[in-house]
Amino acid sequence: MQRNEIIVSASILASDFMRMGEEVQAVAASGTDWIHVDVMDGVFVPNLTLGFPFIEGIRKITTLPLDVHLMIIQPEKHIERFIEAGADILTVHCENNPNIHSTLLNIRKMGASPAIALNPGTPAEMVEPLLPFLDMVLVMTVNPGFGGQEFIPEMLEKMRKIRKWIDEKQLNVRIQVDGGINHETAGQCFAAGADTFVAGTSIFRNSKGYAAGIRELKNLC
C-alpha cells in the first residue's frame, strides 16, 4: 500500500511549562502537524503530568489536532472528559485495559480518533486483532514516564511486524513512534514502517530552532 504522509507531533512535555502558551504557538508556527500531550497519573507510569484543564487551555490557543496519550489506569472512565476538553486523537494502552475493544469503539463514537500504545515489553501480537478498529498504533521506543530517554532499537522489528499486518489487511492505520526520536532514529523508524513521529527534545531543544527540528523529521522521504 502507498505510505501515508509524514506527520510530526511536537511533544510539549519537553517545552518550557512557564511559557506554555507561547511554546504551543511557536511550534505551531514552525510547522508541526499535531500537538502531543502526555497525560500521566503517577500509577501506570512513575510520573505526574497534565490533566483536563491543561488540554482545555491548549485547545483555546491552537486549531492543530491535539494528540493525547493517556498513561493512566482505567482510561475508559475518562475518555469522554478528555474528548470534551479537546482531544482529537486519543491513545490508550492495551496493558491496563481488559475491555480495550469497547474503549476504542467508544472513542470513535464520541468523535475522536482511537489509537493504541504498546510499551517496549508488550509484544506486537497484542494489537493485531484490533487493527481494524484503530486509526493509529503508537510503538513506544522508550519506557514511558519521562522525556529525554535513549531510543530502544529493538522496537524496529515490532514496527515491521505491525506495518506488514496493516498492509496485508489493506488498512489505513498510522504507526506512531515516541521516545528518543531525532533525525537519525526517525529515519530508522520510517524504514521500518512508521509515518508519525512524536518529538520533544529534538524540536524544543534544537540548537537551530523549532522549525529546523521539524524539517529534519519531515525530510525523511
Q: Are 189 and 197 in contact (CB under 8 A)?
A: yes
> What is the end-to-end Cα distance of the chain in Å, rounded?
16
DSSP H stretches of helix in the chain: 20-29, 52-61, 79-85, 100-109, 155-168, 183-192, 201-204, 210-218
Give the three-class secondary structure for 15. coil
Please say if 178 is a catalytic residue: yes
CA within 13 Å, CB half, 47: 13
DSSP H stretches of helix in 62-204: 79-85, 100-109, 155-168, 183-192, 201-204
Please say if 88 is a catalytic residue: no
Residue 80's contacts (CB-CB under 8 Å, 6 or more residues apart) are 106, 110
Beta pairing, strands 196-199 & 7-11: parallel
* Catalytic member of 38, 67, 135, 195: 38
| Grid cell of 172 as nine digits | 489505513
* Catalytic member of 33, 67, 135, 178: 178
Cβ burial 98-131 (10 Å sphere, 16+ → b, else e): eebeebbebbeeeebbbbbbbbeebebeebeebb
Catalytic residues: 38, 178
